[in-house]
Amino acid sequence: MNIAESVLQGDRLALARLLTGLENDQPQGRDALDALFPHTGKAHIIGVTGPSGSGKSSLVNRLALHLAETGGEQPAPRVAVLAVDPSSPFSGGALLGDRVRMRDLMERPEIFIRSMASRGALGGLARAAGELVLALEAAGFDIILVETVGAGQSEVDIARLAHTTLVVEAPGLGDDIQAAKAGILEIADILVVNKADKNGAESAAHTLAAMLEIGAELKPASALLENTWKAPVCLTSALNREGIAALSETIAAHRAWLRESGVWEQRAQARLEDLFNRLLRERLLAEWQRSQPQANLTDALQALHKRESSPYNLIERLFS
């Protein structure tokens, strides 16, 4: 049996190998994904982003358990978690803390969990995350939770491509302001104020709700359809397991809205096109670089550094 068939049969080891292959850009990984592609497109993809330390991993952990146990559906949904960790410039590895906290999930056979280190390459992280999500969809998961730290543009891009985006904040992070600065409030379908067990959670929730209100008013009329969903604010305590059921009900309500409004399909298409465009750009750049004598590029860059040629002029010359 080949790897694609094994993945379709629910073989977890084959799936883990495929994900590693995709992360490492191995051709076998792409071949398998090519074969698996017709089996993708059914899962509910939930992006979870927000500042570091707001409790995303803890919340994803609780949410995954809750969804898998009491999804309200028959049979219970199959849940996968993809944690996209920021790479450390020194180790290049995923953060240890997340792996440790995810351990109780790993002991649950019905929940599949994968941690992914970010890659330095141009758009590499977002592209690889897109590929891993496709593989998880093909493997038959009904719900895929994708955790990213809302620190950089590419992490925000990953979360934004989900059907449902949760932005997780917490009191005492310098938070409300931080969220506004990072511009991540506007991508929230659901805003979560975690650490509700701490002082200041209620007031942070009020401030953020007010900011969402202002943001909604500033949206262009072209976003009218999208505007028919008003991002609610949910208070949770991942620590005390509070607000988790209400949050999963809100997620279910968003899914129902997505289906009715047609936005589900729009977002699915946007996600596929984003992956396609990333792959196309990578391929074009690689092919073009291969077709150029190295000397041309070196000369061009030298002329640029000396300000003998503008970037515009150089590109015209390289393509003529």
Which lies closer to ligand GDP via its Cβ, residue 100 or residue 285?
100
Residue 195, contacted partner among ligand GDP, Mg ion, none, CB below 5-8 A by kind: ligand GDP
Backbone angles phi, psi at 101, to 5 degrees: -70, -25
Which lies closer to ligand GDP via its Cβ, residue 147 or residue 157?
147
> Binding residue for Mg ion (CB under 5 A) from 17, 64, 98, 139?
98
Contact at 8 Å (CB) between 277 and 266?
A: no
Which lies closer to Mg ion via its Cβ, residue 57 or residue 236?
57
We find the least distance from the C-beta atom of residue 239 to ligand GDP, in angstroms, to be 3
Whose tokens are 């071949």? That residue is 31
Q: Which pair of tokens denotes residue 232?
A: 């609610």
Which lies closer to ligand GDP via its Cβ, residue 226 or residue 242?
242
Contact at 8 Å (CB) between 119 and 87?
A: yes
We find the least distance from the C-beta atom of residue 26 to ligand GDP, in angstroms, to be 29
140 DSSP assignment: T
For the segment 23-82, give every residue that binds Mg ion (CB under 5 A).
56-57
Does 148 contact Mg ion by CB under 5 A?
A: no
53 DSSP assignment: T
Cα distances (angstroms) measured from residue 197 to each of 137, 174, 206, 251: 35, 17, 16, 22
We find the least distance from the C-beta atom of residue 266 to ligand GDP, in angstroms, to be 28
Which lies closer to ligand GDP via its Cβ, residue 92 or residue 97?
97
We find the least distance from the C-beta atom of residue 60 to ligand GDP, in angstroms, to be 8
> Residue 282 contacts by C-beta under 8 Å, 6 or more apart in sequence?
122, 123, 127
Whose tokens are 């992490």? That residue is 155
Beta strand extents in the chain (DSSP E only)? 44-49, 79-85, 111-117, 143-148, 164-169, 190-193, 233-235
We find the least distance from the C-beta atom of residue 77 to ligand GDP, in angstroms, to be 22
CA 74: distance to chain centroid?
A: 27
Tell me the helices (H) and strands (E) count for the chain, helix number first. 15, 7
Closest residue by beta carbon to ligand GDP = 55
Residues that bind ligand GDP (CB under 6 A): 52-58, 97, 101, 194-195, 197-198, 237-239
Which lies closer to Mg ion via its Cβ, residue 52 or residue 277?
52
We find the least distance from the C-beta atom of residue 282 to ligand GDP, in angstroms, to be 29
Q: What is the contact surface with Mg ion in residues (CB under 5 A)?
A: 56-57, 98
